[in-house]
Amino acid sequence: MDVKDVRNRAGQLLSLEGKVAIVTGAASGIGRGIAARLAEMGCAVAVLDKNLEGGMETVAEIERSGGMAIAIPCDVRLRSDCREAVSRTIAAHGRIDILCNNAGIVLRKDVLALEEEEWDAVLDVTLKSAYLLSHETIPHMIRNGGGAIVNTGSGWALKGGPKAASYCAAKGGLLNLTRAMAIDHGKDNIRVNCVCPGDIDTPMLESECHQLGENPEQFMKEAASRPLHRVGTPGDVANAVLFLVSEMSTWITGAHLVVDGGGLA
């Protein structure tokens, strides 16, 4: 096999032609990056977000690049919204091959400062949503003969962080949910993995800086202390997700892939 054949084979392994994906929290940030990358590789994408305007912007970006996407308003905390979103995706495309449970929120507070409703909000958006969407999607994957699920965790799924009690709890739970789902649904040819980003240049990271009274620009400069001397981009995470949902990773399940520029090294 010559170099050209190898390159063609690599392209085939990464191709998502004919696949259909759901990406939550896809109105901006990491979710938008994931949706755009999957569409770039030939996947039809259902863009789920409570922010319909942002979701439409993601769809427009994908369509400008020649991809296919639909925006579906969805409050991922609600079973009814999740069920409706999955039903609309099936009605539009007839199948679901990929689910990216990416939606999440962060409140930078310790347990003393957290109100009960704040705890519930973080856990519901970040952790419960993955259960709800998986519950609705997995039966369709089983009927199709398999699929791939990627949950967006965090470096703080693997270690604690300051003033982020609810976020650390949610992401830690999401990582172990990933393992449990991988065990349960391996027999169905459904692979379940978790990508664990570090600090990524997104509106969420900017919000964290403001919550902590920090200057976002100064924070970005201080990020140069990482081994790779920068914060990450949504594209960095999207590339990892592409690997985990593609034919490149057919014997990988129940795993987590850290994408943090060496921050945990």
DSSP 8-state secondary structure symbol assigned to residue 160: -
Q: Does the active-site annotation cover 167? A: yes
- Among residues 189, 188, 194, 190, the alpha carbon closest in space to that of 173 is found at 194
| Beta bridge pairs of residue 73 | 49
Answer whether 203's CB lies under 8 Å from 32's CB.
Answer: no
The residue from 28, 167, 173, 205 that is catalytic is: 167
Tell me, what amino acid is at 99? L
End-to-end CA distance of the chain: 37
- Among residues 202, 253, 196, the alpha carbon closest in space to that of 26 is found at 202
- For tokens 């942002």, the residue is 54
Query: Starting at the edge strand that comes first in sequence, how are the strands of the sheet with 190-197 ordered?
Result: 68-73, 44-49, 20-24, 98-101, 147-152, 190-197, 256-259
Q: What is the tally of helices (H) and strands (E) in the chain? A: 10, 7
**Distances 60 to 43, 199, 202, 251 between C-alpha atoms, Å:** 15, 26, 19, 34
Tell me, what amino acid is at 148? A
- Among residues 125, 79, 120, the alpha carbon closest in space to that of 101 is found at 125
Q: Would you please indicate which residues are annotated as catalytic (active-site) residues? A: 167
